[in-house]
Amino acid sequence: MEKCYSIPISTKIRLIKALVWPVATYGCESWTLRDNEETRPDAFEMKRPRKILWVSWTPKRTNKWVLNKEKRELLDTVNARKLAYYGHTMRKQGSCLEKEIMQGTMPGARRRERPRTAWTDNIKTWTGLSTEESIRMTEDRDKWRKYVRCVQDRGARTSVACWSGSRVPRRRLSLSVGRW
């Protein structure tokens, strides 16, 4: 597809978003996104646009130059899907196993080494809210959807706070990336 000159670049990009990204992001709602894995999705996302735009590595074109031609949005989509799944699960009524697992803790002593990043740690980092505050916010479905859309549209990379009204989060949005 990269070497086919008869297909316009915009069509090639749309094909990649329709055919490759769903496969790459399958199950991203359940990923625990760690900081040390940040470069893998970036590299994955940059590989196709470089091939489509026929950008060789020898002229030393930077990723910023390539992104002037095409916007990066894969990681923002992953974050938005994870936040939407969190809101959906926290709104469930009654005894739901998923909700209990997300809110619960393991009995017993923890390991002696450094604590691993938990799934809910990503939600706390992105929203800047405690677990109780984020659960309270998810109860209002429209407000949570508006927040998730704002994260997806503006992107967590820009550190834009997606809050309406005077409510300002304690921490700004930051981006950690999933496994590839």
73 pLDDT band, cuts 50/70/90, is: confident
CA distance 144 to 139: 8
35 pLDDT band, cuts 50/70/90, is: confident
Q: What is the mean pLDDT of residues 71-75?
A: 74
Using a pLDDT cut of 70, give the percent of the chain over it: 77
How many other CB atoms sit within 10 Å of the CB of residue 37?
16
3 state SS of 169: coil
51 pLDDT band, cuts 50/70/90, is: confident
Decide if pLDDT at 146 tops 50: yes
Cα 41–42–43 angle (5° rounding)?
A: 90
Question: What distance separates the 2 farthest-apart alpha carbons in the chain?
Answer: 63
Tell me which amino acid residue 77 is. Answer: T
Tens digits of residue pLDDT in 112-128 = 888 778 888 888 888 88
- pLDDT for 177 equals 43
Phi, psi of 76 (to 5 degrees): -65, -35
CA distances from 106 to 69, 111, 119, 124, 156 (A): 47, 12, 14, 19, 30
Q: Which residues of 44-82 are buried (b: 16+ CB within 10 A; e: fewer)?
A: bbbebbbebbebeeeeeeeeeebeeebebbbbbbbbbbb
Q: What is the mean pLDDT of residues 6-33?
A: 86
